[in-house]
Amino acid sequence: MGAELAIRNLHVKVEGNEILTGVDLTVRAGEVHSLMGPNGSGKSTLAYILMGHPAYEVDEGEVLLDGENILELEPDERARKGLFLAFQYPTPIPGVSVADFLRTAVSSIRLGPSEEGRTTELIPMREFRKEIRERMTELDIDHSFARRHLNDGFSGGEKKRAEILQMSLLKPRIAVLDETDSGLDIDALRAVADGVNRQLSSELGVLLITHYQRILNYIEPNFVHIMVDGRIVQSGGPELAHELEAKGYDMVKDLV
């Protein structure tokens, strides 16, 4: 069955301030939704709450994945249910290679969590190496990349490619991509968009957070939503992104 992520009347507080003020949004497998909105409108907050970031507090509302409320689940349990989040600002982990990190992450999703006193079971090295090489070739990533330390000294474009590589290995059912296009040159944007497009299927739903219409030329959304002051004030088709590009956020000012 295709996944369905349903966000209902979601209110979220950060350090006492209400940041999300009633978000309603449903993303189904096979759909690409683009979420746009001015700086500070709450887009990343929504992404973080979906993944279970501890600093964010849900005041009201629910988030259902296939009808099950996921707000009580730990981040790794959400990931195991098929939720994937690519962060706007990925964290460097010096000392851990890309390959080691991905092998651990993918093993924990596929083979189950590590139990108390026992380290995570790992996918056999040979099998994983073959798989990661195939994915890197598809994404036009140099194979030496796998030996580098995760996000340590990575360029903006390399970080984004690493995330799309991770997504291609984890094969999520719902992916939330927060500004996957920011800081990318034209070739990298195309490579990242191709990487996402290659994964699009009737089994995957995507929530693509972005500021610019440009990436939507490559990853075509079915729906575009505009968030202002912590809620979605307008939804439409791809034409809404073009209209926004032409008119700016003045066009939704009166809707707030």
Ligand X SMILES: Nc1ncnc2c1ncn2[C@@H]1O[C@H](COP(=O)(O)OP(=O)(O)OP(=O)(O)O)[C@@H](O)[C@H]1O
Binding site for ligand X (CB under 6 A): 14-15, 19, 37, 39-45, 55, 88
Closer residue to Mg ion in complex, CB, 100/229: 229
DSSP string of 36-77? E--TTSSHHHHHHHHHT-TTEEEEEEEEEETTEE-TTS-HHH
- E strand or H helix at 210: none
Strands 205-209 and 17-28, bridge-based pairing: unpaired
Q: Work out whether 210 is an interface residue with Mg ion (CB under 5 A).
A: no
The least CB distance from residue 66 to Mg ion, in Å, is 27
Closer residue to ligand X in complex, CB, 88/97: 88
Query: Residues 9-48: x/- map of binding to Mg ion (CB under 5 A)?
Result: ----------------------------------xx----
CA 38, CA 1: separation in Å to the nearest integer?
35
The least CB distance from residue 150 to ligand X, in Å, is 22
Q: Work out whether 108 is an interface residue with Mg ion (CB under 5 A).
A: no
Closer residue to ligand X in complex, CB, 17/144: 17
Closer residue to ligand X in complex, CB, 19/109: 19
40 binds, among Mg ion, ligand X, none (CB under 5 to 8 A by kind): ligand X
The least CB distance from residue 39 to ligand X, in Å, is 3
Phi (first) and psi of residue 113, to 5 degrees: -70, 160
Residue owning tokens 């798989």: 131
Q: Work out whether 151 is an interface residue with Mg ion (CB under 5 A).
A: no
The least CB distance from residue 83 to ligand X, in Å, is 18
The least CB distance from residue 135 to ligand X, in Å, is 28
The least CB distance from residue 74 to ligand X, in Å, is 20
33 binds, among ligand X, Mg ion, none (CB under 5 to 8 A by kind): none
Closer residue to ligand X in complex, CB, 88/199: 88
CA 176, CA 224: separation in Å to the nearest integer?
14
Closer residue to ligand X in complex, CB, 39/119: 39
Using alpha carbons, list the distances in angstroms from residue 62 to 5, 6, 8, 9, 214.
10, 8, 5, 7, 32
135 binds, among ligand X, Mg ion, none (CB under 5 to 8 A by kind): none
Per DSSP (E only), the strands in 45-194 are 56-65, 68-69, 83-86, 93-97, 149-150, 174-178
Query: Measured on CA atoms in the order 103, 96, 206, 221, is the torsion positive or negative?
Result: negative
The long-range contacts involving 110-113, CB below 8 angstroms and separated by at least 24 positions, are 112/80, 113/76, 113/80
**List of residues contacting Mg ion (CB under 5 A):** 43-44, 88
